[in-house]
Chains A and B, each alone.
Chain A
Amino acid sequence: MRFITSIIFLLVFSSSIFAQMQRQRAVKDGPVDDIFRIGSLIGMSTVVNLEARNLNSLITHNFGLVSSGIEEFYGLDQNAAVRLGFDYGVTDKLTIGIGRTSVEDNVDFRAKYIVLEQLKSDKMPVQVAIKGDVGINTQKNTQFDDFTFQERLNYFASLMVARKINKQISLQIAPMISHFNTVKIEQTGVVPENTHYGIGLGGRYAFDERKAITFEYLPVIGDRSPGTKNHFAISYEIETGGHVFQMFFMSGKWFTEQHLLARTNTDFFAGDFRLGFNINRVFGL
């Protein structure tokens, strides 16, 4: 009898004990964050896009060859090459951009679209994006004065496939093609290629949420213009609330991928590389 009374007593009071709700995640699956921190590793584009209505201003610099020595202060005394660009997220999957490079006054228009997103659940294990870039050489000097609009155009297209393997490591592979409507014969009897194919390889190792090291390598597959080398670059990346700074060593002086692939003429692994840096600043509009 006492036992039953105790149970009743307990029930009466325990029924009024109010347990906390079970916490349930509102977002159970979704795209993987930060496969890469920003839309480009150094010069090579990544599968990452801006979100809708976000604007990224990107200033890219590089200097002369470090191998020029102390007389040229390891390249810093030489003219800097600069690309000033803006990219805009039209939607979460489509980003468009425009930029101007000081070398040959190349103005380029680009677009990148995310075809597939890597999902946290791993139902989609990779992220896939396509990119196109059309550049026009706007330089006015004796070398280009006679060029028509068509002759000044250059193109680039790539298919990027990347995976964030874990919190530290992300890797990307990107078959790519570049084409120049006009190529310059620098040496009699040696004809440069208008079209180059390549396989871009890139990766990122994150030390923590703010700092990472990245690399990119763009080997040409098949025929190539004489004297050109495979582009390589390695970067130290720092995230500082709204900005992504990338300080790097890269082989060529170019910034757009069609030029990186087809016109890099210095060999990183032979010691011919240059210091450079990118400053990314993202604004919400």
Chain B
Amino acid sequence: MKKLFTLLIALVLFSPLQAQSFFAEDGEAVFISKVPLHTFEGSSQNLVGLINLDENILDFYLDLETLDTGNGKRDRDMKLTLETEEFPFAEFYGTLVSPVDLNNSEPQPALAKGTFKIHGEQQEVEIEGTLQPTSEGLLLKANWILNLNDYDIEPPSLLIIKVDENQEINIEILLKPYSEDQ
């Protein structure tokens, strides 16, 4: 009986330390918007990400109000379009399907499956990218196409020309080793 209690306490105390997690809150997220004869992009350096390799879990989110297109008025229009007061985050939560070899410092193909949520709508997605172990942590790069209509986002217009509903999204984030008691 006493052994069981000891085991119980040990599990409670030490199980969080077993996790092999990487975390960052200064990742870069970029979107590229296109209208005929014109392309503009917006970016943020506030991408927050957590990867738990034990569970193969990825958890990322971005405060959309940190996106900057270099044009204040366009930024305000974007926030209105995304309704950031009501839906402040773009987020992804899913699993890492492909294995990662932490002893290999080359970029390794990575495939994640999970739920992407923005504007109060969510879709199941698969996102491809690369994971590269470095001396500082784990470097993740990924890009995909986000279709605004899938998330009930009305593409904004420049005069009568609508912005392309397909937005190219690029993220890059260096996640550093992290223990859950940090």
Contact = CB atoms under 8 A, between A and B. Distances in A.
A27 interface: yes
Interface residues of A, number: 36
Contacts of A282: 71-74
Interface in B60-86: 61, 63, 65-66, 69-77, 79-80
Interface in B150-176: 156-159, 163
Interface secondary structure of A, over-half rule: loop
A242 interface: yes
B157 A4 contact: no
Contacts of B37: none
A187 interface: no
A243 B69 CA distance: 16
Contact of B159 (A27, A50, A53, A241): A241
Contacts of B61: 21, 23
Given A15-B16, A33-B79, A54 B8 contact: no
8 shortest A-B CB distances, which residue pairs? A51-B72, A284-B71, A15-B15, A26-B63, A282-B73, A209-B80, A26-B46, A18-B57
Interface of B: 1, 4-5, 7-8, 11-12, 15-16, 40, 46, 48, 50, 52, 54-55, 57, 59, 61, 63, 65-66, 69-77, 79-80, 88-89, 91, 93, 156-159, 163
Given A26-B66, A27-B65, A242 B57 contact: no
A18 B59 CA distance: 10
Nearest to A30: B65
A31 to B, nearest CB: 11
A240 B72 contact: no
A34 interface: yes
Contact of B11 (A1, A12, A209): A12
Contacts of B159: 240-243
A11 interface: yes
